[in-house]
Structure 1
Amino acid sequence: MQGRSQKRRFRSGNLTKAVLALICLVVGTAGTGSAVNPVGRAPHIVPNEFVFEDQSNRARHVSDEPHVVRGDKRDRVSAGARKPQLAQVALSLRLGLGPLAVNAQRMAPFGAIDAEQSTKRMLSHNAEMDRLAGVPAKLVDLVTNDGADILATAYAPTDPFHDPSSPFDALLGTKRNGRFVPPVVEGDHVWMKDPLPPKVFSSDEQKCLSTAIYFEARGESLKGQAAVAQVILNRVRNPAYPNEVCKVVYQNASWLNRCQFSFACDGVPERIVNRRAYRTAREVAMAVTGGKIFLRDVGSSTHYNATYVSPEWADGMEEMTQIGSHIFYRTYNGGWS
């Protein structure tokens, strides 16, 4: 009996020691904050006062792979570089455009998201965007020129694709550095090859051109208004006339009913009452001056008359076309016939 009692006490003592050891193990693990957690489970939060003690006692050679593979951790690459930047670098490598990645931040000063959007816009860029850049919707159908005179700032694109130092300009050859010269056909004169004087783009010159369009052709179609503007600008090119729009429009204005454009010498005050029509005239004036609109059927015409009159000078000129209520003519020798 005594031997059995000693064996029971021995077994009981061992069991007690095992339980105590297990408790100590559990408590010790909770106190140190185990670094290993099951995938997807939130990490154990350790109070701040224990963080320093834990870090000082932790072995430095312990692998951090359990942290990397956890589902709630970000991948290592995204922590070192932003994804939009990486996307631009990859894109530039595929296209062979190293400068794209370098210039990404310059083209998007407000952050990587803007840079990514700018890159997308540049990749979706096409020739039609250049063709219609800055053109009012009402004049889209009349546009005949892909580019525009460099002095016509109203049609200068300002998107990142046309940044002066953009690599796309050098690669695709889209930089605009020329003046508009009208297409010359058989029978045209040598002065048609000259670009317009820079002064015609000034506000005063554009005001004179817009006023002439308004009073001479505001009742005509948009094409008819553009044709009148083209005649005036052809005279500016022609050495037989003044080289300024205002001087062309108001030439001989002091001769009652004997000047070049009837509204300038008919004795009726120039009062612009239809603001919408005048705004349209201004848009037409700039579009024709900038070369966005050039009517080939009007060509180098320097004269026109209304269909309800028969001027004597018309018999000595070549009739080009009729648009609305106006007939357009060009001279045979470049000046007065």
Structure 2
Amino acid sequence: MRRNSRSRGKLRLLLQNWSSPALFGVCGWLMSPTVASHADLAALLAGLDQGRENWRMVLTNSPAGSIHQAELTFADPVVTGTIAAGAGMVLPDGRKVAFMAKEKGHEASPDEDRVNRPLKKGRVVAVEKMQPPKDFSAGSILQRTRLLFQPSLDLKDRSAFVKPKIKGKEIQIATNFYKKEPPRLDRGVSPMLAGLVTNTKADVLATAYAPAAPDYARQSPFDSILTDKADDGRFVPQIGPRDHAWAASILPPSVFSAAEQQCLASGIYFEARGETVKGQAAVAQVILNRVRNPAYPKTICGVVYQNEDWRNRCQFSFACDNIKDRVNSQYHWRIAREVAMAVTAGKIWFPQVGSATHYHAVYVRPKWAKTMEKVGRIGLHVFYRTYGGGWS
């Protein structure tokens, strides 16, 4: 019983403490409006009802330089009241704001009174009219013909015909009008020899480089029966001023036989297979120079195996060293055969070697080297030519 009476007393005390604040809160909630009051000037005069956006509306000054007068347009004149003509209000700073209806009528003041004339000034930047030169127009000469009969002494902005200075520059000027094409590689030889080709036209007897069909654009089909030259189409080396005359002679047709090419390839393989392709071609040129030289045998095999029965005293050491010649590298043998045919056909001719008939390795010092003229070195071989053009 005591516990029930105590709980009832606490509940009574709690209701007495919160009853008064709750009553005042409900009364305040009932008295507060649901829409914000039109406390601002725009809502009071224009009759606008935009709720919470009303407090953001203010009157601002016109942009700088504007001549537009300050005005306030009423959205609905019927609701807000009749707007008398010329009605307005004066702001605390002295500015005037006119009251206007939604549909603006004609301005009563003329433009002469509303436009601010005293503030107008002249142009800030001067504008000039661009005109062509005097007595001249595009497409006509007009009075310029008088200069042909009465030349002026004023040399300013004048032109004259000057004789060009092209003497000694004819070739340079002519080549400027033609595109120089890069050198083309000879497709008739293997890629390993293409960079060494010095002659695009091979000997006519070299069937390996014979064209598939005659080129009638460069050669007439009747040249084969009307020609007077028996050796037309044969390769003739272009010798230098210090080379011997016999170097420009034509090789006998027998050099293109299989036996002769076998001997030349053997000389290249056993003498220079360790050299570059250029070094091998230089050795082949020396062998063929001896065939052209009247002091040596007239065949390639005769030159390569000359004095082969003299031990270690023959022209090419592999021919008289009493060692059986065996081809152990088919790759180098194929290169030697291709080099042999290319040099024989005249596709490769080195002016650096020229009419040289002798050579030796750089690691030997033969006695005969002092009696000959040194022409150059390719790889590990030094090349010589005789002074008199004969045997030595």
Band the TM-score falls in, shorter-chain normalisation: 0.5 to 0.7
Q: How far off its partner does 1:133 sit?
A: 4.2
Q: Number of matched residues? A: 206
Matched residue SS, 2:368: helix
After the TM superposition, which residues 137-152 of structure 1 pair with which residues of structure 2 at under 5 Å, given as runs? Answer: 137-152=191-206
Is the Cα contact below 8 Å between 1:133 and 1:157 reproduced in 2? no
Task: Report the counterpart of residue 169 of structure 1 in structure 2.
Answer: 219
Matched residue SS, 2:348: coil
Is the Cα contact below 8 Å between 2:273 and 2:280 reproduced in 1? yes
- The amino acid that maps onto 1:149 is D
Do residues 255 (structure 1) and 310 (structure 2) align? yes
Going from structure 1 to structure 2, the CA distance change for 1:213 and 1:167 (only over 3 Å counts) comes to closer
Do residues 157 (structure 1) and 207 (structure 2) align? no
Matched residue SS, 2:268: helix
Q: Give percent identity, aligned residues only.
A: 59
Going from structure 1 to structure 2, the CA distance change for 1:314 and 1:168 (only over 3 Å counts) comes to closer
Do residues 265 (structure 1) and 320 (structure 2) align? yes
Listed one character per residue, the Cα deviations across residues 38-75 of structure 1 (whole Å, up to 9, x for unaligned) are xxxxxxxxxxxxxxxxxxxxxxxxxxxxxxxxxxxxxx
Listed one character per residue, the Cα deviations across residues 273-302 of structure 1 (whole Å, up to 9, x for unaligned) are 101100100000000000000011011000
Task: Report the counterpart of residue 373 of structure 2 in structure 1.
Answer: 318
Q: Output the CA distance in 2 between the equivalents of 1:273 and 1:325.
A: 22
Do residues 185 (structure 1) and 240 (structure 2) align? yes
Task: Report the counterpart of residue 283 of structure 1 in structure 2.
Answer: 338
Q: Output the CA distance in 2 between the equivalents of 1:168 and 1:296.
A: 27
Q: How far off its partner does 1:128 sit?
A: 7.0
TM-score after normalising by structure 2: 0.50
Question: Structure 2: 5+ residue runs without aligned partners?
Answer: 1-180
Listed one character per residue, the Cα deviations across residues 187-229 of structure 1 (whole Å, up to 9, x for unaligned) are 2112112110110010000000000100000000000000000
- The amino acid that maps onto 2:210 is A
Q: Output the CA distance in 2 between the equivalents of 1:320 and 1:331.
A: 10
- The amino acid that maps onto 1:310 is R
Q: Output the CA distance in 1 between the equivalents of 2:271 and 2:370.
A: 22
Going from structure 1 to structure 2, the CA distance change for 1:152 and 1:271 (only over 3 Å counts) comes to same
Do residues 235 (structure 1) and 290 (structure 2) align? yes
The structure with the largest helix share of the pair is 1
After the TM superposition, which residues 1-337 of structure 1 pair with which residues of structure 2 at under 5 Å, given as runs? Answer: 132-159=186-213, 162=214, 166=216, 169-170=219-220, 177-337=232-392
Q: Output the CA distance in 2 between the equivalents of 1:323 and 1:170.
A: 41
Q: How far off its partner does 1:157 sit?
A: 1.2
Q: Output the CA distance in 2 between the equivalents of 1:135 and 1:259.
A: 33
Listed one character per residue, the Cα deviations across residues 298-322 of structure 1 (whole Å, up to 9, x for unaligned) are 1100000010111110001110111
Going from structure 1 to structure 2, the CA distance change for 1:185 and 1:273 (only over 3 Å counts) comes to same
Which of the pair has the greater relative contact order for Cα pairs under 8 Å at 6+ separation? 1
